[in-house]
Amino acid sequence: MLAIIIIVSVLFWTGLADPGKITFSDLNYTTNPSLNPFFLTSNSVAKHLYADAIFDEKNQLFCIYHTPLPETEDPRISSIYTITSSNLLDWSGSSDPHLNLTEWGLPEETNNVSVAAIPSKGTYYLFFSATTDFPDYQHVGKEGTSSAIFVAKADNPYGPFKNARSDSQPLLRFPYTNNILNATDNPSVVLDQDNHAHLFYTSGPSVYHLNLNDDLVDIGPGMAKDVTPMVTNKNGNPPNFSGGVKVFIRGKTYYMLWKDSANDTALPIRYAMSPHPEGLFVDSGWVLEPDQAVATKLGHATVINVPTTDIWYLVYSRTFSDGKSDLQSGLAYDRMYFNDEMEENESHNIGPTIKPVQMGVAGNFNAFSDPISRFQTNGGRSQFFSIWPWTKTEVSRPSGSFHGDDDRYISSWWIEPMALLPSNFSNFVFDINVAITEFNPNYPGPFPGDVGVMFRVAISSTLGLPTDNYYGYYTGIRVDGRVILGMASGTWNELIVTEPVLDTPYQKLYRMRVWAMEHRLKVHVDDMENALIDVTDETYQSGGAGLRSFRVDGLWDNMEIRKL
């Protein structure tokens, strides 16, 4: 059984996050509890995100450097940005780049930028690759397009970053030869236990290692060595490097991640291990594979290690596609666990293997200012969803009260809003807190208001008015205390309505569960053992999950979806 968790939140650009007081051991999540992807470029679809992460000890912040690819066919990338968080939940950043490549001296035609970050002795270094025309740089042979790795440095993680080399030249450079670009790309830098720096990079189908000098800006002793992972018989086909190499150290073991291109439409993330930076790296299988329910394609990956702990997270770029177009793409993170057993090669231990990472989409609605931006809404009606402070004190209403246990919640207005999370679940358990917060008892019409969730909604559905303009199921609690289950296909088709079973349907928080397995559908409210609704229907087999209300103000919180 594979578990996938779903919860919701969003980014708000405010500058550096307030560090507050961090207890590192508390940052112990099974997945991101505040929504994956936790970062979308410009609140829209991005092709890929190249990213690396460090911990800013001075400000006690996790810092992720990223270079978003543009959404147009123009491949140029001009800047490197950062986002930060003190708790891995609330992320903030700046719309201004910390390193602008054109202002830094690179031509506007620069593309294929990937970044690696590392702090050392109070200085912060950025290694980044760039494929461009370098007419102003020396030792070219002739002017023309080539690939290079540059190194920049600053006295703080947020720049301004300057060329770290006194001659302002790239650290490495490979020009075109016989119309073939021997690209140097995907730099990754690690410091070993003796504080020696090691640079890894890809060139064509291979991965290379170079020693760096202590200043991290010049090549150290020795030649570049091919450290492309060796494939063992148990793992089948040889590794296919599509890029995104990241090397990190845990204990005495070096782990190499890369984006595998054996299946170009899926791009899973693979890993290898070695007891030494110069290899031999042994291919050890998959770290993360795409899942059609939440992420159909994967991109570059890096890691976050929570300081003073053995808590590790895989940070990666992922995309959800309906098969025709990419509906959502951004950065996500999930917990990465290590096995107790050791990988062995030629009678010596290499290191503990990595358990396959379980992909998560999660959200408790209390981290960011606009969780609904992670959803597709009906007719652009996201303005009918808003986030409100909801303290842990009692919230009074004219006819009752309810208690909140999170800092924020999502509320809707009277326009029957819908919000669909780009996903494609078939068999699952969908848990969520729901409440009716306001309703108009004099609202005209025969149907009482309700609040609830949509599920197995066709990805191709166009959410809009009228209210039932989608294809999928909906279940909710009504103001008259009944629980309903029905489906829409442009019009509403009611499957079942219970007797009044909720004593306080108004301004009381209920825990709702939808259980779906093949043709069987069950709905629970508060009682997770006994279903209020238990029916069979085979109209819709899979689809997205979402929020919906009808003629009421509604509240949703602590959403969790587990794939069965």
Number of H helices, E strands in the chain: 1, 40
CB 35 within 8 A of CB 330: no
For the record, the structure tokens of 451 come out as 């609040």
* 275-312 residue pLDDT tens: 999 988 988 888 998 888 888 888 889 999 999 999 99
Q: How far apart are CA 36 and CA 17, in angstroms?
A: 19
Bigger pLDDT: 63 or 233?
63
Which of 330, 344, 204, 312 minimizes the C-alpha distance to 248? Answer: 312
Scanning the structure block, which residue is given the tokens 């112990």?
Answer: 28
Would you say 170 and 163 are in contact if contact means Cβ atoms under 8 Å apart? no
Q: Which residues contact 398 (CB under 8 A, 6 or more apart)?
A: none
- Of 314, 311, 293, 305, give the one whose Cα is nearest residue 356: 314
Q: Which of 238, 247, 314 is nearest to 274 (CA)?
A: 247
Q: Is the pLDDT of residue 50 over 50?
A: yes
CA distances from 184 to 170, 224, 315, 478 (A): 11, 12, 23, 60
Q: Please count the other Cβ atoms lying within 10 Å of the Cβ belonging to residue 518.
A: 11
Q: What is the pLDDT of residues 105-114, one digit of tens each?
A: 666 666 667 8
Residue carrying structure tokens 């829409």:
488
Q: Give the up-direction half-sphere exposure of residue 97: CA atoms within 13 A in the CB hemisphere.
A: 14
Fold of 37-354: Tachylectin-2; Chain A (2.115.10)
115 vs 48: CA distance, rounded Å? 13
Q: Which CATH architecture has domain 371-563?
A: Sandwich (2.60)
> What mean pLDDT is predicted for residues 23-38?
85
For residue 550, the model assigns a pLDDT of 85
Q: Is the pLDDT of residue 265 over 50?
A: yes
Q: What are phi and psi of 382, to 5 degrees?
A: -65, -20
Q: In angstroms, rounded to a whole number, what is the distance separating the alpha carbons of residues 341 and 432?
A: 37
Query: CA end-to-end span of the chain, whole Å?
Result: 6
Taking the C-alpha atoms of residue 428 and residue 121, their distance in angstroms, rounded to an integer, is: 49
Measured between alpha carbons, how far is 472 from 545 in angstroms, rounded to an integer? 9
Find out whether 507 and 400 touch, Cβ atoms under 8 Å.
yes
Which segments within 355-446 are labelled E, that is strand? 376-377, 385-389, 394-397, 400-403, 408-412, 418-425, 428-439
Q: How far apart are alpha carbons 17 and 137 in whole angstroms?
A: 38
Q: Rounded to the nearest 10 degrees, how much is the dihedral formed by the CA atoms of 63, 64, 65, 71?
A: -140
pLDDT at 239: 62
Rg (CA), the chain: 26
Q: CA angle at residue 62 from 61 to 67, to 5 degrees?
A: 125
* For residues 396-421, average pLDDT: 51
- Which of the pair, 540 or 465, is modelled with greater confidence? 540
pLDDT digits (tens, 9 = 90+) for 410-443: 555 555 778 888 889 999 999 998 988 888 777 6
Q: Percentage of the chain with pLDDT > 70? A: 69
pLDDT at 347 over 60: no
In contact, 439 and 552? CB cutoff 8 Å = yes
Burial class (CB in 10 A: 0-12, 13-18, 19+), 323: exposed
Q: For position 554, what pLDDT does the model report?
A: 81
Which residues of 45-193 form beta strands (DSSP E)?
49-56, 61-68, 79-85, 92-93, 99-100, 111-120, 123-133, 145-154, 162-163, 172-177, 180-181, 184-191
pLDDT of residue 103: 67
Strand partners, 436: 506, 554
List the single range of 46-60, 124-138, 363-377, 427-441 with lowest mean pLDDT: 363-377
Residues sharing a CB contact under 8 Å with residue 36, sequence separation 6 or more, in sequence order = 294, 318, 332, 333, 334, 359, 360, 361, 362
Query: Are the beta carbons of 31 and 5 closer than 8 angstroms?
Result: yes
Over residues 23-43, mean pLDDT: 78
The predicted-structure confidence for 527-556, as pLDDT tens digits, reads as follows 999 999 999 999 999 999 988 888 888 888
Q: Where are the domains of the chain?
A: 37-354, 371-563
CA distance 472 to 455: 6
Contact by Cβ (8 Å): 31, 385: no
Is residue 255 within 8 Å of residue 273, measured between CB atoms? yes
Whether 341 shows a pLDDT value over 80: the answer reads no
In angstroms, rounded to a whole number, what is the distance separating the alpha carbons of residues 502 and 231?
A: 60
Residue scoring higher pLDDT (560 or 42): 560
Identify the three-state secondary structure at position 531. coil
How far, CA to CA in Å, does 352 sit from each of 237, 335, 339, 341?
22, 16, 6, 6
Residue 463 confidence (pLDDT) above 60 = yes
pLDDT-derived band at 264 (thresholds 50, 70, 90) equals: low
pLDDT digits (tens, 9 = 90+) for 358-383: 887 677 665 444 555 667 766 434 34
The CA angle 550-553-557, to the nearest 5 degrees, is 100
Q: Classify residue 48 by burial, with Cβ atoms within 10 Å: 0-12, 13-18, 19+.
A: buried
Q: What is the mean pLDDT of the chain?
A: 77
- 58 closest CA partner among 93, 84, 32, 39: 84
Lowest mean pLDDT among 139-148, 379-388, 496-505: 379-388
- For 68, the token pair is 């978003």
